Amino acid sequence: MVRSTTYLWTGIIGIGLYILVLLEIPLYFVYTPTPSGTPPASIILLRILVDMFICIGLIGFFSGFKNIISQSEPAYEWLGTFIFACGIAFAIVAFVADSIQAGSVWAAHTNPVNPTWVGYGGEGALLIYGPINRLLNAIILFACSTLILKTRLFPKWTVWLGYIFAIYNLSFVPTIIYMTTPLDFYSVNGWNIPIAAGLFFLWILIIGIFLIRKKNKKEVHQTFLVTH
């Protein structure tokens, strides 16, 4: 039997992740540009700092999710482990991308840079933030939705929502063969990225809310058993 605290904390982390994403995404668009048109170094480093906490949150969320699947649905433990592994991979490569971008800012010293553009030293992070993350997001969403479809852990509409979000993410994996033009929608570092990331974390938010609701239902059920 899964402890209700596992549902609670996994749900809280899922909600917290979405809040952090809402704080991070505006930092890519809302700032006072330097004379060269690039964002201030402080803004770049701030959004990297926020992203680091998001990475830690992902590890916590998928650890809790794996524990819930392992104990409540033993027949699908292998799928829960696969989802956990993909979630950890997502967090690790995001840490790598953060390191590359932060390094390009430090290396520039007093010269303004934008590590999301080619030519500023952060090009190595573009593949991670683009096609690699889209592929990992698509796999996680597809695997989680299939798991929910088989186990009925959550409402059926979350399954189809997950599949739709997965297809959207998967459609941007081929951007690897296209140019790196940030103003283009369909490019490695285009503005499709914040939309895709927003949808992925929106799905995590929804699952987090349902996990907290399940926790409350478990407590009511346990109280009923004790009193009767």
Query: Tens-digit pLDDT profile for the chain (228 aa)?
Result: 557 889 999 999 999 999 999 999 999 888 887 877 788 889 999 999 999 999 999 999 999 999 999 998 999 999 999 999 999 999 999 999 999 999 999 988 777 788 888 888 888 899 999 999 999 999 999 999 999 999 999 999 999 999 999 999 999 999 999 888 888 889 998 889 999 999 999 999 999 999 998 865 554 344 333 344
Q: What residues contact residue 101 under an 8 Å CB cut-off, 6+ apart?
A: 44, 48, 115, 116, 122, 125
Q: Distance of CA 208 to CAs 8, 15, 25, 118, 163, Å?
A: 8, 6, 20, 36, 18
Q: Would you tell me how many other CB atoms lie within 10 Å of the CB of residue 43? A: 17
Residue with tokens 């993909």: 86
Q: What residues contact residue 12 under an 8 Å CB cut-off, 6+ apart?
A: 208, 212
Nearest to 200 by CA among 149, 147, 135: 135
What is the Cα–Cα distance from 92 to 110, expressed in whole angstroms?
29
Taking every pair of C-alpha atoms in the chain, what is the biggest distance, in angstroms? 72
The reported pLDDT for the residue numbered 216 is 58
User: Would you say 102 and 124 are in contact if contact means Cβ atoms under 8 Å apart?
Assistant: no
The reported pLDDT for the residue numbered 218 is 52
Helices (H), 73-155: 77-108, 126-127, 133-151
Angle subtended by helix axes 41-72 and 77-108, to nearest 10: 170
Which tokens in the block code for residue 156? 């059926």
The reported pLDDT for the residue numbered 121 is 81
The reported pLDDT for the residue numbered 119 is 81
Which tokens in the block code for residue 148? 């929910």
Q: DSSP letter for 131, please.
A: I
The reported pLDDT for the residue numbered 2 is 57
Which tokens in the block code for residue 34? 């330097």
Domain that holds residue 116: 4-227
**Total structural domains in the chain?**
1
What is the Cα–Cα distance from 56 to 195, expressed in whole angstroms?
21
Helices (H), the chain: 4-24, 41-72, 77-108, 126-127, 133-151, 156-170, 192-227
pTM metric for this prediction: 0.89
